[in-house]
Chains A and B, each alone.
Chain A
Amino acid sequence: MTDKKNFYFAKSHEWLSNYSNNDYSLGISDFAQSELGDVVYIQLPQAGKQYKKGEKIGEIESVKSVSEIYAPVDLTVKNINSNLNETPELINNDPYGKGLIAKVELHNPSDLSLLMDNNSYELFVKSNHE
């Protein structure tokens, strides 16, 4: 099981996790993927593009739903996980690892303070979705 000590979560269920300096991985939470069901398609963000907090960066589709992925903070997309084009099920199987959506650079790392840590996120999920 992934250690989510250094993960930051948004209310819209995206996560960010630091891997070097200002560089972060971005994905969606395990709770989000389980609620979506089998992911069949993902529209990835664009490498090189800047997104403002709350801006739509992509879309995830299961068989009968479409969900938007938002930028949890101001960021620039550096690389996208293009494996997801062929194997979108990675989001279901390994949401915090191989199912990450993109590598991004944060414009203001201090924005992270606006997000939840793992414990708060779990509480948030519990209180809002039960």
Chain B
Amino acid sequence: MNNFRYIPASDEEVKNLYKFIGIKDKKELFNKIIGDIPLINEKELDFMPDQMDELSLYKYFSNINDSLRDCGNIPVFAGGGIYDHYVPSAVDAIMSRAEFYTPYTPYQPEVSQGTLMAMFEFQSMTASILGMDVVNASMYDGAESLAEAVLMSSRIYHQNKQNDSSKSNNKKIKIIVSKAVNPYYIEVVKTFIEDLDIFIEFTDIDSIKGNTDANDLTEKLAQNKNICAFIVQQPNYFGIIEDLETIEKIVHSKNCDASLNPHLIVCSAEPFSFGTIAPPGFYNADIFAGEGNGFGNYMNFGGPLLGLFAAKKEFIRQMPGRITGKSKDNRNQDAYLFILATREQHIRRQAATSNICTNNSLNALRAAVYLSLCSKQGFKEISLLNLKLAHILHEKLLNTGLFSLKFTADFYNEFVLEINNKSINSTKFINEMLKEGILAGIPVKNCSSDEILIAATEKVSIEDIDKYVESSVKILA
């Protein structure tokens, strides 16, 4: 037997272990346990590569890393759900502490106070940013978080209907979804509700302004019955700031019995915007579901991300996921622990509010460290910087005459432009721009092929913006 560095059992010790439990060798051990099921023989492991020493392994991945310099180390103007925000060194330094990244879920609170208190701070800070009452200890990502919000809304709806014995309790219910919600989020929501008697109806977008069409929303609400929720994204998939004030009034005044009004579910892929624009809680949103990856996390080719989930306090018992709470210990000190665990799968099994167990805790802790570093002032300034840089780029690109405005409404840090040169579609433009060392944006999903979705974050500089403009002139003119 060879020594392998992660396994601290010497040949001698292994021999003694076998002797102690009264078994001859591996074959006998497994045969005794698994019976007739065939053991894998050495030849059948041929598909496995040779073991690699650590240096070779490092070189192998480090070479891959080097080969990606043209896409992992360039200005990123792509968004569409993930935004390239800067991660301060202090975040990496703290999160590389094994005390944070190697423990399990803090089910033994006395030996997990570090994680729990940091999680409590995460909940407090994000709740304040969102203007919402309760934030949970994270979901997987924005899309899954939104799907869970829909399930939660349907539970509350059924409960309210049940309480209202005068109404028939139709099992089939509807959600109305703005077409300006991220299409990937919508796809995930569809996967979740497909077998659950929840149906989707879409509201149009205003083709000029690019936001949710309030008239169409009013109509859809009037036409449909048994609506549990309306879902809108802020800022929406096209980067446009939705008029949540108007939307909220429409949604929350559908019924004379307020308890039967649809929930306003606001989702967001860019909660950095709430350092500048009013948060969902300000507009009386019932549930918030979004992507918090931009707070101190890397894009990681799409995962792990950070699902944010928040709700009004009155719905806390219907929320999915873990919630950290504050209490006292037997020495009368403040102490933190998971609360309302009876909602969860390990206690309530199939009647749980969600099946989620492992969440994205470490990503939430990264966000806690990041937001602490940002502090109040820094968060506002970076939020504004995003808005400013996007608007500067927007203006400069339009000034080239090579792009046309797609939507007129106000946007935050992302916007859609049409490429005027009809021989070059957005995919081709993006590929050509990559050769210039810029990730220029993404093709707008489910839209015309000459439209491009462009975002800016605090990581791009004025020089990057000027280079973007120059390069696009070179490619499109």
Contact = CB atoms under 8 A, between A and B. Distances in A.
A65 B165 contact: no
A82 to B, nearest CB: 15
Interface in A63-77: 63-66
A65 B342 contact: yes
A64 B342 contact: yes
Nearest to A68: B351
Overall SS of chain B's interface = helix
B342 A61 contact: yes
A66 B163 contact: no
Interface in B293-315: none
Contacts of A49: 165
A15 to B, nearest CB: 24
B341 interface: yes
Contacts of A66: 342, 347-348, 351
A46 interface: yes
Contacts of A46: 163
A63 B165 contact: no
B341 A64 contact: yes
Overall SS of chain A's interface = loop
Nearest to B341: A64
Interface size class of chain A, counting residues whose CB lies under 8 Å from the partner chain:
under 10
A41 B347 CA distance: 15
A65 B347 CA distance: 6
A46 B342 CA distance: 21
A3 to B, nearest CB: 34
Interface in A60-98: 61, 63-66
A49 B169 CA distance: 15
A86 to B, nearest CB: 15
Interface string B328-363: 000000000000011000011001000000000000
A61 B317 CA distance: 11
A46 B347 CA distance: 25
Nearest to A61: B342
A64 B347 contact: yes
A49 B347 CA distance: 28
Contacts of B347: 64-66
A81 B454 CA distance: 58
A65 B344 CA distance: 10
A63 B317 CA distance: 13
Nearest to B348: A66
A41 B348 CA distance: 15
Contacts of B348: 66
A66 B347 CA distance: 7
A63 B163 contact: no
A48 B163 CA distance: 10
Interface of B: 163, 165, 317, 341-342, 347-348, 351
17 contacts: A41-B317, A41-B342, A46-B163, A48-B165, A49-B165, A61-B342, A63-B341, A63-B342, A64-B341, A64-B342, A64-B347, A65-B342, A65-B347, A66-B342, A66-B347, A66-B348, A66-B351
| 10 smallest beta-carbon distances between A and B, as pairs | A61-B342, A66-B342, A66-B348, A64-B347, A66-B347, A46-B163, A64-B341, A65-B347, A49-B165, A65-B342
